[in-house]
Amino acid sequence: MVKKSVPDWLNSSLWSTAPPPTSPNEDDDDGRPIGKSSSSDSAAAPSNSSSSKSANTTATPVRQQAAVVPVRPEPPPEVEIRDPLSSSNNNVENGSGTVEIRDPTGDDLSRKVVNIVELRRLASQGIPDGAGIRCTVWKLLLGYLPTDRGLWSSELMKKRSQYKHFKEELLMNPSEITRRLDKSTCIEKDESLPETGVVLPRSEITHGEHPLSLGKSSVWNQFFQDTEIIEQIDRDVKRTHPGMHFFSGESQSATSNREALKNILIVFAKLNPGIRYVQGMNEILAPLFYVFRNDPMEENAACAEADTFFCFVELLSGFRDHFCQQLDNSVVGIRATITRLSRLLKEHDEELWRHLEVTTKVNPQFYAFRWITLLLTQEFNFADSLLIWDTLLSDLEGPQETLLRICCAMLILIRRRLLAGDFTSNLKLLQHYPSTNISHLLYVANKLRTQPAR
């Protein structure tokens, strides 16, 4: 077989990370499963680029079964996150000669009809954190807001009212449902009786309303079936980004934020019985709620739970087959998606692909399962995850294709270390991806789109 040559642009030192100095504790066994991250996330806001990854999260969906390779990850170095929108196209010079960043809300977002194509182009380069730009742009990119600004108010009112109805219907305790049914029955009987004041109405409990009923239509039977999922959601939500005050702690705001995440996941599970809740969905939900809850407009921030729910549904619609165990081996399941990643790497860097999968026999499922199902939320700190999501959500081809290119770029960026490693060292490296410059990573990913495979 003729060995394919490595593209010249891959041989540049820019694409590789120098191997770190050998640490005497590199092979210490701390007994952690590969589905969890052990470094702490001290960021309280996405603008902190040096914050580390979330700790003790139950990130990987419980269906994953892979080898346990413990490692003690190195603390990430300081990485400066620059505003990608501060390029020459978005900068203006004022009278004093200084350069200012032009607020995109003064251009595309202020138009009567938003140019979604131009908005996707700008968002793919990164969205500034301030002025509530990201929360509005994400809602547009996910189709939650129409491009016509004149329809925003009515659409938001309709959607938020619909979510309120979902909560009232799906989060109500069965005893409250029975009480309301009983009250309604009593009122009907009272209207049919003569007003003698002697006969007292007596409530009748139907079979479906009895707490011991096993019928499929019984509200109590359904309640007990949901209890296990609700308890799992509660445990996972409490472990969501424990290093961020926004989600963790006993403050009133943190408690309220966790309650909102829990409500969204419960409502989603009940409305989607084919998927229900899969461990790790809380990690996908967290960035959406964080962004929407920090909207500078108080009205929008107060309705962040409703807005997050619909955007979460829309985002997950492109990945829902990855969470359905029955589809794992189908052409739309998670294994097929991982195979596509493997094929993409082979097309662009066959030498690296051969070393990983043939020579060292590193199965892509050992690392790519978590990368793909959790949309890279566990591989980078929270601030960097938001920048990656700006690109994921803005791609016209859809987030899945962009996600695969980013995953492939992650492998290429550390190719020299991977080519020099064996099974154990490579698996450790891929399960605990090193800190990197996100703008550079996204540049390489975009290069894979335009660079023809060799």
Question: Rounded to an integer, what distance in angstroms lies between the CA atom of residue 133 and that of residue 148?
Answer: 17
CB 335 within 8 A of CB 365: yes
Query: Which neighbouring-strand residues pair with 91?
Result: 101
Place of tokens 């902190």: 48
Least trusted range by pLDDT, from 82-96, 126-140, 234-248, 280-294: 82-96
Which amino acid, residue 413? L
pLDDT bin (cut points 50, 70, 90) of residue 342 is very high
pLDDT of 250 over the 80 cut: yes
The pLDDT tens digits for 303-332 are 999 999 999 999 998 787 777 766 666 767
Those residues whose C-beta lies under 8 Å from the C-beta of residue 398, and which sit 6 or more positions away, are 318
pLDDT of 432 over the 70 cut: yes
Q: How confident is the model at residue 107, as a pLDDT?
A: 60
pLDDT bin (cut points 50, 70, 90) of residue 218 is low
**Mean pLDDT of the region 275-295:** 94
Q: How confident is the model at residue 244, as a pLDDT?
A: 95
pLDDT bin (cut points 50, 70, 90) of residue 89 is very low
Among candidate residues 80, 82, 83, 99, the one with its CA nearest the CA of residue 91 = 99
pLDDT of 25 over the 50 cut: no
pLDDT of 357 over the 50 cut: yes
pTM of the model: 0.71
Q: How confident is the model at residue 454, as a pLDDT?
A: 58
Question: Rounded to an integer, what distance in angstroms lies between the CA atom of residue 97 and that of residue 159?
Answer: 46
Total residue length of the chain: 454
pLDDT bin (cut points 50, 70, 90) of residue 108 is low
pLDDT of 297 over the 90 cut: yes
pLDDT of 381 over the 90 cut: yes
Q: How confident is the model at residue 315, as a pLDDT?
A: 93
The pLDDT tens digits for 167-212 are 999 987 655 544 544 554 445 545 554 544 444 444 444 544 545 4
